[in-house]
Amino acid sequence: MAAGVARPVRVARRATPPGSRPPVGLAPKVVPRSLAPTDGPLLELRPNRAATRRAIRLSVLYVAAVGAIYVGLVALADAGPVGGSPGVVGELLLAGGIAAAIVVVGIVVNLGAVPRAVELRAGSTVVVGRFGRRYRFPPSTEIRATVLARIPSGLLAASALETVEIAGGSTRRSFLLEEHLLDPPRPLPAAGTGFPG
């Protein structure tokens, strides 16, 4: 055979039965959506700390309020003429179950509305939801953000927060974010002017 002439080569592989997984070495390489090449490299990761603290503190207050209402209901039922009877105890257990369900749903809704962080990438802005969902928008220099409400700093949050509606492409969502999380990324220091040695 002459040098430089390629010929086809057949590689024998075991056939896998339908519905089974291919062997580890033959598994197709899947790039997770979170690392899509269109997103570009990560320039900055900005945690949404103040909004997270506010959501946690609100959840604690919510649990305390529902708990206080339930304890008051139990005290009133126990002080009544039929307090402690099986019918009253069953109704209190049912009310306790309903209160627990209301607390769980309230906490999930409260925390779910607050993203964990904002990723500023070269090709996109990614808002990372509390439970891992990622919302992609154009780069921070191209998105349209409208402040719907401002929450000043106070007992529940150490810094000011904003309810921001972000629009980019066909996507439009509202998030509770710290101020300035959507500002363009800070420029990297020029070569030789970085950290002192």
Number of domains in the chain: 2
In a domain, 25, yes or no: no
In a domain, 76, yes or no: yes
In a domain, 197, yes or no: no
Of the candidate ranges 35-49, 53-67, 84-98, 156-170, the one whose mean pLDDT is the lowest: 35-49
In a domain, 73, yes or no: yes
Last residue of a domain, one of 90, 112, 134: 112
Sign of CA dihedral 140, 168, 33, 38: negative
In a domain, 168, yes or no: yes
Q: Is-contact 92 74, C-beta < 8 A?
A: yes
pTM greater than 0.75 (yes/no):
no
Predicted confidence (pLDDT) per residue in 86-113, tens digit: 778 888 889 899 999 999 999 999 898 8
What is the C-alpha separation between 67 and 60, in angstroms, rounded?
10
Same domain, 58 and 92: yes
Predicted confidence (pLDDT) per residue in 14-42, tens digit: 554 555 554 444 443 433 444 454 677 88
Asked if pLDDT for residue 125 goes beyond 50, the answer is: yes
Specify the residue for token string 């529940």.
Answer: 156
- In what helix (H) or strand (E) does residue 152 lie, and over which residues does it extend? none
The pLDDT assigned to 32 comes to 45
Asked if pLDDT for residue 185 goes beyond 60, the answer is: yes
The pLDDT assigned to 192 comes to 52
Give the 3-state secondary structure of 30-52: CCCHHHCHHHCCEEEEEECHHHH
Last residue of a domain, one of 94, 112, 130: 112
CA distances from 27 to 16, 18, 164 (A): 12, 14, 42
Asked if pLDDT for residue 197 goes beyond 50, the answer is: no
CA-wise closest residue to 125 among 60, 29, 38:
38
Last residue of a domain, one of 89, 112, 135: 112
Asked if pLDDT for residue 124 goes beyond 80, the answer is: yes
In a domain, 194, yes or no: no
The pLDDT assigned to 89 comes to 82
Same domain, 129 and 91: no
Same domain, 97 and 120: no
Of the candidate ranges 40-54, 133-147, 161-175, 178-192, the one whose mean pLDDT is the lowest: 178-192
Q: How many CB atoms lie within 10 A of CB 95?
A: 15
In a domain, 17, yes or no: no
What is the C-alpha separation between 32 and 181, in angstroms, rounded?
25
Question: Which residues constitute the domain of residue 120?
Answer: 40-48+116-178
Residues in the chain: 197
Asked if pLDDT for residue 69 goes beyond 80, the answer is: yes
In a domain, 185, yes or no: no
The pLDDT assigned to 8 comes to 52
Asked if pLDDT for residue 190 goes beyond 90, the answer is: no
